[in-house]
Structures are given as structure tokens and as C-alpha cells.
Amino acid sequence: MYLPPIGTRIEELDTPALVVDAAVLEQNIARMAEWSRRTGCAVRPHAKAHKTPLIARKQLEAGAIGISCAKLGEAEAMVAGGVPSVLITSELTGAAKLSRLIALARHADVLVVVDEAANARELSRAATAAGLRLGVLVEVNVGQDRCGVPPGGPAADLAATVAGLPGLRFAGLQGYEGNLQHVRTVEERQARCLVSMAQLLESRRAVEARGLSVGICTTGGTGTHDIAGEQEGVTEVQPGSYIWMDADYLQVQGLPYQGGLTVLTTVISRQRPGAAIVDAGQKAISQDGHGGPQVKHAGLSYAPMGDEHGKLAGNELPSLGDVVQLVPSHCDTTVNLHDHLHVVRDGRLEAIWRVEGRGKVT
């Protein structure tokens, strides 16, 4: 694979290219770290936004207490890249997954989540057979209606089950209000987040009433971390996209983080009136999210035109060979399309980082 030399000007990069503004990345990481120090709420950033161990290590150096991973494959990539502590935020079940989990747990501090007693017993058997003790969080459904045991008594029942199983250590609770991350207004987002936090903290009280200690109470993403993380009883948050945001998150009011991720694309055809065809299609930039990718050029819009092509429309269309920057509507899924991040500072290539977690969907 062709990789451009360090020092290449951004407009001379081969396209499509995933580009990171180094200064924005550093500023966003520092800003989240400052919030954590000010509030006393720990940050366990989510690697699904970057899938890159080098960035995870920068977050840890800034004060993060560990890294969250959506998938076991992401966690394996993080640990192989030097990350010592990972929380896998999705349930793991089945012999293949548990075999890999046990292997990973021999080399790093690994936390997992459960929302069913049967899964807890499965984890217990695997850990006991390996002579390990796994830290386990009970996942609580706080409104997303995806995974998670109902709040309150059911969460406490499952916590008691986990605490009583050999090979497991009940570590606390997870409750993710992912359905609220992109609520646009501060007022609505706060009101709805407080409802979710009430359910999570009700669960914490129910667990503690059983005589169990809740060492970890983890929740929140980029959109709600500042609301959830300031609730008494919440110990940590799991923001991911804050490091560079995306076109969707940049429309969410009240967030202090800047946009620093773009897909660079080149105009390859001007054969149709009112349209400029570029070389970034569905294989280069995610098409999900509210409104799709945005063009960093006033008066232009982008629409997908298949796997390898996109169309720019608007006034003053760029010419053949011109390079344009697109802001992804969803950073997580766009990063997963690329092998490398092209890190740019002051308009020139400073580094190329491999996206080690790309395609780690198992």
C-alpha cells in the first residue's frame, strides 16, 4: 500500500484519505481530561471511535483510567498495542468468544458485562477452569432498550448471582443511554439523561442494599458525559467521539469539542452539468448519521453515488483534480473503513497511524 512521505502537503495526499487534525485531537483530549479533574469523575474513553492503540495511549497519558471497547476484537487490538486495561462493553457468549476472552485476560486487566445469569455462569465456568478471576459489571437498561437487565431489583438479583459465582468478581454496574447522545438541545438532553441516571442510581442503591459494593458505576457518552458524570454515584463515563467529533455531533448543542476528522477526496469527473464527481463513495465515508457527510466548503453538498463515487452539488463547483474535505456524519463507522489515519499539523503530514482495530467486528 502506498503511504505518502512525512511532510506532504494535505492537498497533495492521495485520495480518498482519512485525515486527522493533530492540534484538534490534542486539544479535545486535554479538554476532556480537564473536565475529569475538575469534576472528579473518571474517564474510560471508548476506542470504537478511533480503533487505534496509539490514540488510546495518549488518552491514558492524559489521565484516563482505562479504555472501553465495543468488541472483543477491539480489546485484543488495544492490548496488543500496549493498553493495559480494557472494559468490553458488549456481552460475550459462546465457546469461541470465551476462549479468546480468557487468553486476553492472562495479559491485561479485562472487565466484562453481563445481563443474564446464564451468561454469568458461562463466564464463571471458563474463568474457573483457567484459574482466573474476571471482573464483571451488570449491565442495566436505562432507556436504550438494547441490552441490559431492568433497573432496580432485577439488577440487584443479577449482581448477587455474579458475586456468588466462582471465578467472578462483581465490579459494579454499566448503564449506557446511547439513545440520548445526539439529542440536539441541552435542555432536552439533560432532562432525558437525568431520567436514565435515576434508573442507574436506583440500581446502585438496590445492589448496595444486598450488601454488595459498587466499585464502578459507568455510563455516558460524548453527548451526555457532562450530565451523567456529575451525578453523585456515577464513578466514570465512556465518551468516544469527543476526540474529533463528526458532522452529527457538531450539531449537538453545548459540547465544547472541535471537529478534527475529515475524508479527503478528489474531483475525478465534471461531465454532468451541476455536479462534480469525487472518488469517495460508500467504501470511504459512512453514509449513516443525520444528514450524511458534510462538505467543508460553503455552498456545496455531498451525496453518495455508489461504492467508489460521490457527487458534489451547489454553487461554484470545484474543478477536475481539485481536492475537497468531507466531514463524516458518523466517525466510528468511517474510521472502520480505513487502514490508516493521516495525521496533519499546519497543513502538512506529520504521521501515519495504522487503525489496528479496523474490521474487528467479532
Beta strands in 76-141 (DSSP E): 85-88, 109-114, 134-139
pLDDT classification of 121: cutoffs 50, 70, 90:
very high
Q: What is the mean pLDDT of the chain?
A: 97
Q: 170 has which bridge partners?
A: 136
Residue 36: per-residue pLDDT:
98
Inter-residue contact 289 to 323 (CB < 8 Å):
no
List domains and CATH numbers for the chain: 10-18+256-354 (2.40.37.20), 22-245 (3.20.20.10)
Q: What are phi and psi of 174, to 5 degrees?
A: -125, 135
pTM exceeds 0.85, yes or no: yes
Residues 227-244 pLDDT 10s: 999 999 999 999 999 999
Please name which of 68, 31, 37, 39 lies closest in space to residue 221, comparing C-alpha atoms.
68
Alpha helices in 72-116 (DSSP H): 72-80, 95-105
Inter-residue contact 158 to 138 (CB < 8 Å):
yes
Please name which of 110, 97, 33 lies closest in space to residue 69, comparing C-alpha atoms.
110
Q: What are phi and psi of 312, to 5 degrees?
A: -100, 135
Calpha distance 48→37 (Å, rounded)? 23
Q: Is the pLDDT of residue 288 over 90?
A: no
Q: Which of 90-99, 113-122, 288-297, 341-350 has the lowest mean pLDDT?
A: 288-297
From residue 222, give the alpha-carbon distance in Å to each of 21, 183, 202, 228, 320. 19, 11, 23, 10, 38
| Dihedral (Cα; 345, 347, 353, 357), 10-degree rounding | 100
Q: Is the pLDDT of residue 1 over 90?
A: no
Tell me the mean pLDDT in the region 18-43: 98
pLDDT classification of 291: cutoffs 50, 70, 90:
confident
Residues 92-114 pLDDT 10s: 999 999 999 999 999 999 999 99
